[in-house]
Structure 1
Amino acid sequence: MDSLLYISALIAAVAFAVLVIYLVRLLKETERTMTSVANTLEGLETQMEGITTETTILLNRTNALAEDINHKSEKLNGLVDSISGLSTTFTTFSDSVKEVSDTVSKVAVMNKEETAQVIKWGNVAMEVFKKRKNK
């Protein structure tokens, strides 16, 4: 019976040794995995710092661009207002020319005969002038 006790103690010791070896391997693998995770997180942290820096620079450039667009838009508003004023001036000028033209047409119609006489005398004067010039 003593030998049975020794054999069972030996089996228990071997099982315990196998368990310890298995736990040591498991802990080493866990340590290696945790080291890999730590390295990955450090790399990720470095990349996040770079992304944060680039994002800040991009945001500053975007703000500067938006400010520049606002300034140019304000200047463009002044130009549009000037063009609008110029359009009003041209419209007024066009109306004035039309009014003068209408008045001249009415006077010409009313004085048709006198206008025809003036044109005839103008033609005669031109002919006389040409003849004298040719001589």
Structure 2
Amino acid sequence: MNPWLIAALVILGIAVVLLIVCIIVVIGPIKKVVTLLLAHAEGIKKQLSPIQTETTKLTTTVNHLMADIEYKKESVQSVIQSVKHTGKILDQVSDVSHDATVKVMKKANNDPQRQAEVERWTNTAMGIIQRKA
């Protein structure tokens, strides 16, 4: 065989062995660092678990509070709407009662018997008011 070929194969073999040794020397400390990093990551994960649980509870509580506030806001809005319409209804009732009173007064003014009845009721009411006072 050719001595150059043998020398090249020997050099190649030595280079492969040196490469493997260098890889082992470099990977050893890296493996320790990676193991430490994984241990720290696991510790951080354990610390974050209660925080995540608390965050979930707080989110649920906030959602319940928001739903409660929305319900109460809608309830108050319905009351406000009712109050707004109360003025109109009272105006209508006042108009109707005024019209009825005017009709009764016209009838009473034209009928002496009704005038006497109104006077009796007025006197009775005034007597009750004076007794209370």
The TM-score with structure 1 as length reference comes to 0.52
- Match for residue 38 of structure 1? 28
- Match for residue 63 of structure 1? 53
Uncovered stretches (5+) of structure 1, i.e. residues with no partner: 1-11, 112-135
Alignment of 1:4-83 (within 5 A): 19=10, 27=17, 29-83=19-73
CA distances 1:94-131 after superposition (whole Å, capped 9, x unpaired): 222211123335667896xxxxxxxxxxxxxxxxxxxx
1:90 pairs with one of 67, 75, 80: 80
- For 2:66 and 2:12, the matched residues in 1 are separated by 78
- For 2:37 and 2:15, the matched residues in 1 are separated by 33
Distance 1:87 1:35, change over 3 A: same
- For 1:97 and 1:22, the matched residues in 2 are separated by 104
Aligned pairs, number: 98
Distance 1:80 1:25, change over 3 A: closer
SS of the residue corresponding to residue 47 of structure 1 reads helix
Uncovered stretches (5+) of structure 2, i.e. residues with no partner: 103-133
The TM-score with structure 2 as length reference comes to 0.53
Distance 1:22 1:83, change over 3 A: closer
Structure 1 range deviating more: 28-37 or 68-77: 28-37
- For 2:96 and 2:76, the matched residues in 1 are separated by 30
